[in-house]
Amino acid sequence: MQTVRQTVPDSNVPALCQRCPARHQGICGVLDGAQLAQLLKLSRRVRRPAGEELMADAMPISTYANVRRGVVKLSKILEDGRQQVVGLQFAPDLLGRPFATESRVSAAAASDVDLCLIPKNVLETAMAQSARLERRIMLQALRELDEAREWMVTLGRKTAVEKVASFLYLIATHEDANEERADFDLPLSRADIADFLGLTIETVSRQLSRLKADGVIGIASHRRITVPDLARLRLRCG
């Protein structure tokens, strides 16, 4: 028996894809060189600055977008302006709504982001041809469902400090591979964090100060956070 490769060989893989951080994960991880080359030709790489709206609620969707770098926030607003962030997408997540003609959320760049825009019909054709791809996209939707439900617990049952600790833990484990300690830039402003946690910016700020006073985190600058002991932060998540 031959050694089994982890992923499809890179021989025919386009150079751009080889350098892409999302290459071996997400939807690209299940495609071979020829399929990637095909998709690459029909898609478009773009950079969007933090804050830019990517997809409006209730707007027709004509493209999917693969997140290559940065963080995208998905949010919903009530008529009177109250806003709730309902999800965060990191590389290599796929942005867009399979089998729907319109979005039920609005998407905006939380940090500066690099995207790979794939026209709706192109990706859907690829899905029809590759069961692995369709399966992968379905698995992402199921993972997003798990994450949404996990977050419902945070929103419904946790205190303000626990909410902030949970958010920091989420980002720390996403941005920094280290198991014990972490040191990272927050991809969201205080206002976005507040909208994600169902709090006000003042409360977010106070709880960050509290965690800092307790020695659970360090705040190097407004955006820069250090976590000397992830297990201790974990304990504050409720």
Partner DNA sequence: CGCATAATTGATAATGGTCAACTAAGGTGG
Partner DNA sequence: CCACCTTAGTTGACCATTATCAATTATGCG
* Site for a copy of itself, rule CB under 8 A: 74, 76, 78, 80, 82-84, 86-87, 97-100, 104-105, 135, 138-139, 141-142, 144-146, 148-153, 155-158, 195, 197-198, 238
Nearer to a copy of itself, 20 or 123 (CB): 123
Three-state SS string over 103-121 comes to CCCEEEECCCEEEEEEEHH
Nearer to a copy of itself, 11 or 101 (CB): 101
189 near DNA (CB under 7 A): yes
83 binds, among DNA, a copy of itself, none (CB under 5 to 8 A by kind): a copy of itself
83 near DNA (CB under 7 A): no
217 binds, among a copy of itself, DNA, none (CB under 5 to 8 A by kind): none
- Out of 23, 73, 190, 236, name the contact with DNA by CB under 7 A: 190
201 near DNA (CB under 7 A): yes
Q: Retrieve residue 37's tokens.
A: 């080359």
47 near DNA (CB under 7 A): no
Nearer to a copy of itself, 34 or 77 (CB): 77
Count CB atoms within 10 A of the CB of residue 118. 23
Pairing of strands 182-185, 94-95: unpaired
- Out of 53, 150, 180, 202, name the contact with DNA by CB under 7 A: 202
Footprint of DNA (CB under 7 A): 159-161, 189-191, 198-206, 208-209, 219, 221-224
